[in-house]
């Protein structure tokens, strides 16, 4: 396995275990987001050097966040083959970016976006129940 593949598999494990892949509805539009949470900021700083993103301090932890469509696509495409638990969530986000949120993200096929949003909520519910 090449070094970049190792880094991608490590990041996928971090997202699977301590992260979030989200499609959120905010006021009048949808937003995509990938996030890793850790109590140790230094671990996130190492990931940030490799993969970009921004670090935000939370109440009990730090968060490494990718929130722009381009960066979310980059992260998910790099890690897609290594997910164990959140592969379906990653697929929905990539579908949203490719099929719905072309351009600015504000001019979307709303019906399809709503369907993907509901599907994502179901996946998250199933993930936390099982």
Domain ranges of the chain: 3-129
For residue 124, the model assigns a pLDDT of 81
Cβ partners under 8 Å of residue 63, min gap 6:
35, 36, 37, 44, 55, 56, 57
Fold type of domain 3-129: Endonuclease I-creI (3.10.28)
For residue 94, the model assigns a pLDDT of 95
CB atoms within 10 A of CB 40: 10
Is 111 within 8 Å of 96 (Cβ atoms)?
no
In this prediction, residue 130 has a pLDDT band, given cuts at 50, 70 and 90, of very low
Residue 108 has pLDDT above 80, yes or no: no
The residue assigned the tokens 């697929």 is 91
What does the pLDDT look like over 14-52, one tens digit per residue? 999 999 999 999 888 889 999 999 999 999 999 999 999
Cα–Cα nearest to 78, from 1, 127, 9, 3: 9
């Amino acid at each position: 396995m090449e070094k970049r593949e190792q880094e991608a598999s490590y990041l996928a494990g971090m997202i699977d275990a301590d992260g979030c892949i989200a499609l959120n509805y905010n006021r009048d539009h949808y937003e995509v987001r990938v996030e890793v949470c850790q109590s140790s900021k230094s671990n996130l700083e190492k990931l940030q050097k490799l993969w970009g993103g921004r670090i935000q301090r939370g109440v009990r932890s730090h968060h490494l966040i990718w929130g722009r469509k381009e960066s979310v696509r980059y992260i998910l495409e790099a890690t897609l083959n290594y997910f164990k638990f959140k592969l379906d969530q990653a697929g929905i986000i990539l579908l949203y970016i490719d099929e719905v949120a072309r351009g600015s993200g504000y001019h979307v096929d709303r019906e399809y976006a709503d369907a993907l949003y509901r599907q994502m909520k179901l996946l998250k519910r199933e993930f936390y129940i099982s």
